[in-house]
Structure 1
Amino acid sequence: MDDQTDSPDDYHAICLRNAARARGIATRYVQGVYSRFQPFPSRWLDLAVGGQDYLFACGMLLVKGGDPWRGLGLHINEDAALLTRDKHRAKDFLDARGFSTPAGRVFRRNDLAAALDAFGSFAGPVCVKPNQGFKGELVFPAIADRSRYEKAVRRVAARHQKILVEESVAGQVIRFFFVRPRVVAVKLSRPASVVGDGNASIARLIDLKNALRDRRAVPGHCNIVVDDDLRDFLAMSGRSLDDVPAAAERVFLRGTSNGATGADSLDCRADLHPSYVDVLTAACNAVPGLNLSGVDVMIRDPAVPARHGNYWILELNRNPGLPPFHFPWRGEAQDVSGAILDALERGFTPAAASSSRPLTTTTFE
């Protein structure tokens, strides 16, 4: 079944479709199920590049056909699946090759007692999250007391088979968009926050921020939802929704930095030391079969050269989102869709050909 109309909620496909049209590449929408094990999504952008057919939806790129288990096609990162689906395994792999990652342990749900006892084995605050989670769901960073820790572990265990507990590292989360063989874009993922004016409460500032989001309607930037997790995060710093922040004071509302949790995507190329692009290019090329990824890295001070103790690779995302780069909250767009199409046209080149060429400003329309 074909459908030529746009789906307003899949800006990922719209980004790639627009980039394809700018290059004279024909596209169409088709319906289909990825596999019998993963019956989603149902609507795909179909395009042919470099003599090969591809399907794309919600950040997922498939090489069309050729697999009896997956009727639509093979994932572009199929050969890297063991690492991209397992956060702990990926970090062990990268750590063994000299890249900095947070120290951590993974526990099975049926060994909940061991997970609960692990809190005392960490010297500082910890982060609890699913070992195979996505979109910032059930991620609890900066936990410094046992009661919050046990609550977080039980919440993750209620929904996931494996619980990842790791040291909670501080800094700014930078996402590096990798299209083999190089990093093609970077952005700062700033957690949901508000800036005080000296008069309004945090609750009122959230309303004002959401109203601004509604007016600007920047794709990929969801409204800030006030829930128990947000209240708990404020409580960890001794604050509540009724507090009145000082003028120009930024108050962070969550520890996660995903668009789905109200984060802002900011162009940070001018503030990032170029050595990080070199490090992340090497890290991604070290992963066999990793062709396309959004790599989240916590960096204590982005202006300082990359070194252990100043950066930690958090995870490799196998279905990286496109809209935050094309539609940043602040700064210029970066044409990651064009970079993907360029790579498909030439064929993904081996790691030995990688280059950390300077990232350039690209206008996307």
Structure 2
Amino acid sequence: MDDQTDSPDDYHAICLGTAARARGIATRYVHGVYSRFHPFPSRWLDLTVGGRAYLFASGMLLVKGGDPWRGLGLHINEEATLIIRDKQRAKSFLDARGFGTPAGRVFRRNDLSAALDAFGSFAGPVCVKPNQGTKGELVFPAIADRARYERAVRRVAARHQKILVEESVTGQLIRFFFVRPRVVAVKLSRPASVVGDGSATIARLIDLKNARRDRRAVPGHSNIAVDDDLRDFLAMTGRGLDDVPAAAERVFLRGTSNGATGADSLDCRADLHPSYLDVLAAACNAVPGLNLTAVDVMIRDPAAPARHGNHWILEMNRNPGLTPYHFPWRGGAQDVSGAILDALEQGFGPAPASPPPPPMSVCPQRPPIE
């Protein structure tokens, strides 16, 4: 059954629908299943822009009716899917074109012994995650000891066929929102954290942070859950929930930077060197058929110009979320919905015929841990 109201659990669709209606574009919600392999989401924003009908939900944009094999439509990034949904394949593709990525290897869970033995082949800390995971699920960065490494590998293997093990790079995680042919927004994804006051324990500071989140009710910013992964991360850094941080000391609680795990989305436009916009636009335009994505990049010093070995592309997201750009925890809103509608109205701009090479080459060595 069709529904004319906004879906309360999909702020991404609310952002796009609100922007569309402000332009006089009619919207409605319809129900349907994308494919038997991808049954969720099932409730879609239906809109017609530039003479073509589209469906949108949870960051996924479909050209309605564009795929005869599926009842709903063709994914806007369909041609790029085989590259970007496989994290290691995407990194290899970018690496071959001179873009920096963390060195890594993929292991199948039916060869678990090879994955477990790989720890010694890395010179420093590693990150373990699913090769086709989403939303920061089962991502374990900065592992420096074998026991934690083996636990991480087994946990990923219990849920996923392929395990990605890569060098753990350090810096600040910046997410670049790309609408072909350019980057249209950027944000800093800061992992879940609390700031000490000199008297409260970490557990108390988490309660206070969650109470503030409840008061502010910023869409896309979940409360910080105290679970085994949080406790393990604190233990890895030599902390515990009963520790009392010094006044103004920021204590990170997880290694992942997703809103679902309590991360903060911060407007970082004023702090980011503009050279990264050109580098990331070139990387995205290099992928055939990539029209809409958000790219996670670890940058050692965002204020410094992009150069050899000071940043690494971690992954490209096939279904990029909009909410954190419209509703940051700190800073101004960025109109990614408007940029998407512009592209739908005018047609996605062509990628440069011969994009200039980025001002760096592959970084073969892991940087020192900071």
Q: Name the TM tier (shorter chain).
A: over 0.9
CA contact (8 A) 1:222 1:262 kept: yes
CA contact (8 A) 2:273 2:304 kept: yes
In the TM superposition, residue 6 of structure 1 has moved relative to its aligned partner by 1.8
CA contact (8 A) 1:233 1:255 kept: yes
CA-to-partner distance for each residue in 1:115-167, whole Å, 9 max, x for gaps? Answer: 00000000000000000000000000000000000000000000000000000
In the TM superposition, residue 69 of structure 1 has moved relative to its aligned partner by 2.1
Instruction: Tell me the equivalent position of 1:112.
Output: 112
- Give the Cα–Cα distance (whole angstroms) in 2 for the partners of residues 216 and 353 of structure 1: 46
CA contact (8 A) 1:43 1:57 kept: yes
Instruction: Tell me the equivalent position of 2:241.
Output: 241
Instruction: Tell me the equivalent position of 2:363.
Output: none
Q: Within the alignment, does 1:35 sit opposite 2:35 as a pair? A: yes
* Aligned CA distance change for structure 1 residues 212 and 181 (closer, same or farther; 3 Å): same
CA contact (8 A) 1:177 1:183 kept: yes
Greater CA drift, 59-68 or 117-126: 59-68
State the one-letter code of the partner of 1:57: A
State the one-letter code of the partner of 2:246: A
CA-to-partner distance for each residue in 1:261-280, whole Å, 9 max, x for gaps? Answer: 00000000000000000100
Instruction: Tell me the equivalent position of 1:76.
Output: 76
Q: If the length of structure 1 is used for normalisation, what is the TM-score?
A: 0.96
CA-to-partner distance for each residue in 1:233-289, whole Å, 9 max, x for gaps? Answer: 000111000000000000000000000000000000000000000100000000000
- Give the Cα–Cα distance (whole angstroms) in 1 for the partners of residues 43 and 164 of structure 2: 32
State the one-letter code of the partner of 2:323: P
CA contact (8 A) 1:193 1:253 kept: yes
State the one-letter code of the partner of 1:101: T
In the TM superposition, residue 354 of structure 1 has moved relative to its aligned partner by 10
SS of 2:352's partner is helix
Q: If the length of structure 2 is used for normalisation, what is the TM-score?
A: 0.95
- Give the Cα–Cα distance (whole angstroms) in 1 for the partners of residues 276 and 288 of structure 2: 20
CA contact (8 A) 1:15 1:322 kept: yes
SS of 1:352's partner is coil
CA contact (8 A) 1:129 1:165 kept: yes
Runs of at least 5 residues in structure 1 that lack an aligned partner in the other structure: 357-365
CA-to-partner distance for each residue in 1:182-206, whole Å, 9 max, x for gaps? Answer: 0000000000000000000000000
- Give the Cα–Cα distance (whole angstroms) in 2 for the partners of residues 73 and 353 of structure 1: 28
- Give the Cα–Cα distance (whole angstroms) in 2 for the partners of residues 198 and 162 of structure 1: 44
CA contact (8 A) 1:191 1:257 kept: yes
Q: Within the alignment, does 1:58 sit opposite 2:62 as a pair? A: no
- Give the Cα–Cα distance (whole angstroms) in 1 for the partners of residues 177 and 58 of structure 2: 15
- Residues 203-352 of structure 1 mapped to structure 2, 5 A cutoff: 203-352=203-352
State the one-letter code of the partner of 2:334: Q
State the one-letter code of the partner of 1:296: D
In the TM superposition, residue 68 of structure 1 has moved relative to its aligned partner by 2.9
* Aligned CA distance change for structure 1 residues 258 and 354 (closer, same or farther; 3 Å): farther
Instruction: Tell me the equivalent position of 1:91.
Output: 91
- Give the Cα–Cα distance (whole angstroms) in 1 for the partners of residues 239 and 78 of structure 2: 45
Instruction: Tell me the equivalent position of 1:101.
Output: 101
In the TM superposition, residue 21 of structure 1 has moved relative to its aligned partner by 0.8
CA-to-partner distance for each residue in 1:76-110, whole Å, 9 max, x for gaps? Answer: 00000011210000000000000000000000010
Instruction: Tell me the equivalent position of 1:17.
Output: 17
- Give the Cα–Cα distance (whole angstroms) in 1 for the partners of residues 269 and 66 of structure 2: 39
Aligned length: 356
In the TM superposition, residue 350 of structure 1 has moved relative to its aligned partner by 1.4
In the TM superposition, residue 16 of structure 1 has moved relative to its aligned partner by 0.1
- Give the Cα–Cα distance (whole angstroms) in 2 for the partners of residues 39 and 185 of structure 1: 30
Q: Within the alignment, does 1:145 sit opposite 2:145 as a pair? A: yes
| Aligned-residue CA RMSD (Å) | 1.2
In the TM superposition, residue 308 of structure 1 has moved relative to its aligned partner by 2.3
- Give the Cα–Cα distance (whole angstroms) in 2 for the partners of residues 66 and 173 of structure 1: 35
CA contact (8 A) 2:282 2:355 kept: no
SS of 1:21's partner is helix
- Give the Cα–Cα distance (whole angstroms) in 1 for the partners of residues 229 and 319 of structure 2: 26
- Give the Cα–Cα distance (whole angstroms) in 1 for the partners of residues 354 and 331 of structure 2: 27
State the one-letter code of the partner of 1:49: V
In the TM superposition, residue 324 of structure 1 has moved relative to its aligned partner by 0.1
- Give the Cα–Cα distance (whole angstroms) in 1 for the partners of residues 36 and 100 of structure 2: 37
CA contact (8 A) 2:88 2:105 kept: yes
State the one-letter code of the partner of 1:310: N
CA-to-partner distance for each residue in 1:3-62, whole Å, 9 max, x for gaps? Answer: 012221100000000100111111010011101221121100000011100000000000
CA contact (8 A) 2:196 2:249 kept: yes
- Give the Cα–Cα distance (whole angstroms) in 2 for the partners of residues 37 and 226 of structure 1: 32
* Aligned CA distance change for structure 1 residues 354 and 12 (closer, same or farther; 3 Å): farther
* Aligned CA distance change for structure 1 residues 257 and 313 (closer, same or farther; 3 Å): same
> Kindly, what percent of the aligned residue pairs are identical?
88
